[in-house]
A and B are shown apart, each in its own frame.
Chain A
Amino acid sequence: MKQVFGLLMFSLLLFSCGKSSVLGTSDDGEIVGKYKTLVAVDNFLYAVNHTELVTFDMTDKENPVEIDKKDVGVDIENLYHVDRALFIGSQTNLHIYQIAENGIPTKKSDTPYIRFGEEITTCDPVIAEQDVAYVTLTSSFWNRVNGCPTLVTINELRAYDVQDLENPQLKGVYQLSNPMGLSIDGDYLFVSDGDAGVAIFEVDHEGFATLINEIPNVPTYDLSAQNNKLLVVSEDEIRQYDYSDINDIKLFSSLSLR
């Protein structure tokens, strides 16, 4: 009986993983979704597969040449760049690297999301602005409550102070429904909250965020915000909104992907 239970639990964890992402915006006007694993920075291209960070020299844009490969961890899910720092979100950890002059990343820190004794399958994008990294965690894990195995779920947005890349400090935790992709524009942080819609926070750039508005009940997976335009992508459609008035967000258009 115990073995069957264990097997069931294992398969649940194996198939339950959704995603994770890291946020930021690049300099040349491109807006990226948060489940990216390939990022171009100046003359370098960074790629993550499930366990490694690979660096390519792109001096010749038509011929990337591999110049470095590092083992990062396991279950890597996304890669984000801001200000020559690479934030890598995995199922269990936030890995931070700094890009040297020669383009080779050096490891700065490795912060686990989990606390000792818990087993979590987390699927978490991480994004960052200058000093703060934002991560969404959607995880289910089995824990013992009064001796009985209980499925515990976490659906939260976390903000880490990363002024010191070697010592990320957890500053805030905010409960949501099913948070996934996220995007930041100035003082506003937009979070895809699954079918619950879009949650909009005002941030103080030191790790604190206040929920100020939402676009309820629209399906969301990932989104991008720039120049007062929010693009929301879900399985069935893409929607675009005008947030020039953050208190009165208007729908520009919606287009079916099917």
Chain B
Amino acid sequence: MNRLNRLSRLLFFCTSLTMVSLYTSCLPDDSWQQLGLAPIYASPNNFDLIQSVEPRESVDQGAFMEIYPYIYINDRFTGIHVFDNSDPANPSKIYFWEIPGNTEFTISGDFLYADNSRHLLTINVSDPANIFVVSAVEDIYTPNMENNNFPLNYSGRFECADFDKGIVVDWEEKLLDSPRCFIP
């Protein structure tokens, strides 16, 4: 056969091969592995996770409250930063309250009412250095787009968050099995 014929056959063969492999990678029973982000879960029922620790950097600033002499600012899905604002010319961060899954809160008297993406927790904050959960009303919050379902500032494949596995508290890079979720 002449050169043009051979070339066109080769082209046709390569194109078909590409198309077949693209097609097969979409088949539900196909599996592959690749590096990407996977959720790190915490149990919404583990109240030992709620604690007051050293101050840290804010990553994803959320809602806030000011009750003299403190300012409280939520860091979405991780907890609440506590500031000493007794002198507004010189505020300082003094604690971070770890509350995995938290995005909403209010403080009334000695108590902090805060969610953990699932339940409404009542937390004794009379001593801001030592906070503890005193009760929980279960299942007030249900999964939705806001529930830390995908990693921030990331594009690529990731393992889809599974509500039944717990609250997503962070993301880690690892070898994923057939990750279906994707951020372009």
Contacts and interface: CB of A to CB of B under 8 A. Distances in A.
Interface of A: 14, 29-33, 35-40, 45, 47, 49-50, 54, 56, 58, 61-66, 221-222, 224, 226, 229, 231, 233-235, 238, 240, 252-253, 255, 257-258
Interface in B41-100: 57-58, 61-68, 71, 73, 81, 83, 85, 88-93
Contacts of B63: 33, 35-37, 222
B109 A238 contact: no
A258 B58 CA distance: 5
Contacts of A38: 104-106, 113-115, 120
Interface residues of B, number: 44
Given A54-B140, A64-B113, A233-B73, A40 B66 contact: no
Contacts of B135: 62-64
Contact of A61 (B73, B109, B137): B109
Given A56-B137, A63-B122, A63-B135, A231 B71 contact: yes
B144 A238 contact: no
Interface centre among B106, B109, B111, B135 (most CB of A within 10 A): B106
Interface of B: 57-58, 61-68, 71, 73, 81, 83, 85, 88-93, 104-111, 113-115, 120, 122, 124, 134-135, 137, 140-142, 144-146
A64 B88 contact: no
In the A-B complex, list the 8 residue pairs whose CB atoms are closest, starting with the nearest.
A257-B58, A40-B108, A38-B106, A31-B66, A33-B64, A35-B63, A30-B67, A62-B134
B71 A30 contact: no
A64 B115 CA distance: 13
Interface of B is mostly: strand
Given A49-B140, A238-B71, A222 B64 contact: yes
Given A238-B83, A257-B61, A258-B57, 19 more contacts: A30-B66, A30-B107, A36-B65, A37-B104, A49-B140, A49-B141, A50-B144, A50-B146, A56-B120, A61-B110, A62-B124, A64-B135, A222-B64, A238-B73, A252-B89, A253-B88, A253-B89, A257-B57, A258-B58
Nearest to B123: A62
Given A62-B135, A224-B66, A47 B110 contact: no
A126 to B, nearest CB: 15
A257 B73 CA distance: 10
Contacts of B90: 253
Contacts of B83: 238, 255
A258 B105 CA distance: 21
17 contacts: A30-B66, A30-B67, A31-B65, A36-B104, A37-B63, A40-B106, A45-B113, A54-B140, A58-B108, A61-B109, A61-B111, A62-B134, A66-B140, A224-B66, A238-B71, A240-B89, A240-B91
Given A36-B104, A47-B104, A255 B61 contact: no
Which of A33, A56, A253 has most B Cβ within 10 Å?
A33
Contacts of A226: 66
A65 B93 CA distance: 33
B108 to A, nearest CB: 4
Contact of B68 (A29, A36, A234, A240): A29
A38 B116 CA distance: 13
Q: Among the interface residues B63, B106, B144, which one has the most CB atoms of the partner chain A within 10 A?
A: B63
A79 B93 CA distance: 27
A234 to B, nearest CB: 7
Contacts of B105: 38
